[in-house]
Amino acid sequence: MAEIDHCCSTQLIDGEGEFNVVGLDNFIRTTKLTNCGLSYAVLAIMGPQSSGKSTLLNHLFQTNFREMDAFRGRSQTTKGIWIANCVGIDPFTVAMDLEGTDGRERGEDDTTFEKQSALFALAIADIVLINMWCHDIGREQAANKPLLKTVFQVMMRLFSPRKTTLLFVVRDKTKTPLEYLEPILSEDIQKIWNAVSKPESHKDTPLSEFFNVEVTALSSFEEKEDLFKEQVAQLRQRFFNSISPGGLAGDRQGVVPAAGFSFSAQQIWRVIKENKDLDLPAHKVMVATVRCEEIANEKLHHLSSNEDWLALEEAVQCGPVSGFGRRLSSILETYFSGYDIETFYFDHGVRNAKRKQLESKSLDFVHPAYLNLLGHFRFKALEDFKSRLEQMLNIGEGFAASICTSTESCMLEFDQGYADAAIKQANWDASKVKEKLCRDINAHALSVQDAKLSELVVSYEKQLGQSLSEPVESLFDNAGRDTWASIRKLLTRETGIAVSEFSAAISSFELDQSTVEKMLQDLKDYARNVVEKKAREEAGKVLIRMKDRFSAVFSHDNDSMPRVWTGKEDIKTITKGARTASLSLLSVMVAIRLDGKPGEIENILFSSLMEGTVTAVSSVDRSITTSDPLASSSWEEVMVSPKSILITPVQCKSLWRQFKAETEYTVTQAISAQEAYKQSNNWLPPPWAIVAMVVLGFNEFMLLLSDVGSDGHPRAVSTWHSGWANLYLVEVSSHHHESSKATCRRGSRASN
C-alpha cells in the first residue's frame, strides 16, 4: 500500500468539463514531474463503460483508480478524466483514465464529452490503450466501431500526426489464437480508416503515418484471475523504456517538456472545449513560448533579489570593486544555466529566443552598475592624471612629455579596470566612457597648459615692462633728434631677449608652429604697446616737460652751471635756444615713430612756430586759411598713421602758445636781473653830470675856500655838500626811470 500511495491519483477534468488546475499543479509538484524534461511518457486508456479500464490500469501500474463494484451492478465509475503516476515504471509515466464511452448516464446523443476526451487523450498521450471485448471483434456493429471511428475522426482535426501508438487490448480472450484475431482487427481498423472523411492534405495518407498499431490480449479477470495477472505482468514490462528506440512510443513526435505539461494540458483542453481546430505543432511552440518566458521571468526575478548581486551593487555605489566582472559573470551564469536546464526540452527556436530575451533583460538590469563602476574608474584615472602631471611639472619635466606620460599611465589604469569589470556574457562597449575620460584629460591638460602659458606670458610681459618702461621714460626726459632711434634700438634689443627666452620656455609645450608664432608676435606687440603707452603718458605731460626743458636751458650755461645775469648775456639768443630745445622735445612727442619712417614734423613745427609763420585769419569769418600747416587735426601730409598721433597739429599750436605765455615771465625776470646787476656796479654819475657839477660848483668851491665859520671850518663846505647831493639824487632818479622803460621794451622784444 505504501507504493500505491505514491501514484498520487488526481481528477484532471471533472464530468462537467472543468479543468482542475490546482490538482494538476499539486500532482506535478508531488511527483516532481518537472525534473523529467523529455524523459517521461503519457498513456491513456479509452473504451466502453464498465469494460475494466480502471482495473487494468491498477494492475498494470499499481495505481488506485476507482474500480466498479460488480456486486452492486454495472454503472459508470470513472467520471471525467483522472491521472496517476505509474509506480515503478521507468521512465516516469503518467496514466490517464478516461470516462467510458457508450454509457447510459450520458445517453446515446450526448457524445460531446466523449469526443472531447478522446481528442484530448490523442493530443496528450504517447500511448493510447483501446480496451475492447474479444467477442466484439468481427462484428460490424460492435462497440469498438463507434469508438475507433471517433478516434480517427478527431485525429483528422490535428494539424499533423504525432505517431501515437494505439495498443488494442483484447479483453476476455477466448481459445482463438491471437494471430488469428490480429488480421481481423487490422482489417476492421483499415476499413474504419478508409471510411473516415479526411482533409485534402491527408486524403492519401496511410494509417501508419498517424499510428503505430499494436494488439495484445488478456484473459478474463473474473474467470482466470491468476492468468490475467500473469499476462498483465508481462504486458507491464513493455512499458519500461517505452520512449527509447524500439519501445512502445519510441518514434513519438512533438513531445512537450515536463516543465510545460501543465500549461500545455490546460491550453489543449481550452481549445478543445471552444471547438477549435487543434494545431499541435503551433501548440507546442505556444507552450514553449509561455513556459520559457515564465522561467525566464522567474530567473530574472531571482536575480534581482540575489544577495550576492545586491551586495555587489551596493559596493559599486561606494567606489571601484575589484573582481566585479568575475563575480557578476558567476551570478549571471547561475541563472542562465538554470534557465537552460529547465528549458532544455522545449522547442529549440523558442528556447533560444527567450534565452536571448533573458540575457538582454538581465544585462540591462545590471548594466547601470557596470556604468557606475566605469564612472569610478574614469574619475580615479582622471584624478591620478592630475596628480601625476602636477608632480612631474614640479620636478621640472617638460610639459608635453609630462602630459604624454601621465596620459599613458592613467589610460592603462582605466583599461585594467575596464578589463576587470568585463563579463563573459556581454561584450559591453566602454568606448564612450573612455572617450569621456580622454576629453576630460585633454580639457584638464589644456587648462593647465593655458595656466602655465599665462604665467609665462605674464612673467615675460612683466620683464618687458620693467626693461622698457623706465628706460623709455628716461629717453623722453632727454628727448632729442635721436630719441626715437634710441627707443627703437632699446625695443628691438629687449624684445629680442624676451622673445628668445620665451621661445625656449615654451618649447617643452610642443605647440604647433602657428601657435608659437602667434604667441611670440603677441609678446612683441605687448612690448610695442608698453612703449606706445609710455609715449602717450609722456605726451600728456609734454607742456610740463617743455617748461622744464626751457628752464634748464635758459637758466644754465653750456657747463650746466646756473647763469648769473651780468648784462653781457644775449638774452634773446638764449631765449631762442631754450625755446628751440623745448620745441625739439615737442616734436619728439608729437607722434609714435617706432617704424623708423622719416618725417617732417620737426621741420614743420620749427618753420611754423620758430620762424614766425602764423595762421592767417580773416577779419570777416575768422576761418583758418590753408597757409598754416598746423591748421589740421592730423599729420597726413607727413605720412604719420592716425593711430601713431599723440599730439595733433592744432594741439601743438595751442601748446606752443600756452608754453610761451607761461615762460615769458622767466625771460622778463632775467632781463630785470641784468638791469639790476648793471645798476649795482655803475655808482659814478654820467659825464655830463660831472661837467655840470664842475661848472656850477666852481663858485661854491671858491667861497668855501675863503669863508671860515666860527667853528674854524669853512662854511662853504657844508653848502657844497648839500648842493652836490641834491643834484646827484635828481640825476639818479631821472636815470632810473629811463632805465626801467628801456628794460620793459627789451623784455617785450626778447619774448617776441
Annotation: binding site: 47-54
Q: Which grid cell is 39?
A: 524523459
- Cα 590 off chain centre by: 58
- CA 263 and chain centroid, separation: 48
**Binding site feature residues for GTP:** 47-54
Residues 6+ apart with CB under 8 A from 522: 457
Is residue 628 within 8 Å of 614, Cβ to Cβ? yes
Q: From the centroid of its chain, how far is CA 450? A: 23
- 137 DSSP 8-state letter: T
Whether the Cβ atoms of residue 546 and residue 655 lie closer than 8 Å to each other: yes
Q: Is the peptide bond before 368 cis (omega within 30 degrees of 0)?
A: no
CB 121 within 8 A of CB 113: no
Closest listed residue to residue 589, CA positions, set 701, 688, 476, 511: 476
The set of residues, in sequence order, having a beta carbon less than 8 Å from that of 719 and lying 6+ positions away, is 700, 703, 704
- Do the beta carbons of residue 216 and residue 168 sit within 8 Å? yes
Rounded Cα–Cα distance for residues 26 and 12 (Å)? 11
Name the pairing type of β-strands 40-46 and 127-133. Answer: parallel
Distance (Å, whole) CA 574 – CA 581: 11
Show the cell assigned to 383. 584624478
Q: Are strands 81-85 and 40-46 parallel, antiparallel or unpaired?
A: unpaired
Strand partners, 92: 40
Q: Report the C-alpha gap between 274 and 287 in whole angstroms.
A: 18
DSSP conformation class of 6: G
CA distance 345 to 92: 15
Closest-CA residue to 231 (of 184, 165, 166, 169): 169
Residue 82 · residue 9 · CB < 8 Å: yes
The answer to whether the CB of 586 falls within 8 A of the CB of 656 is yes
d(CA 678, CA 670): 13
Strand partners, 128: 44, 166
User: Which DSSP string do the residues of 491-510 spell out, in sequence order?
Assistant: HHHHHHHHHHHHHHHTGGG-
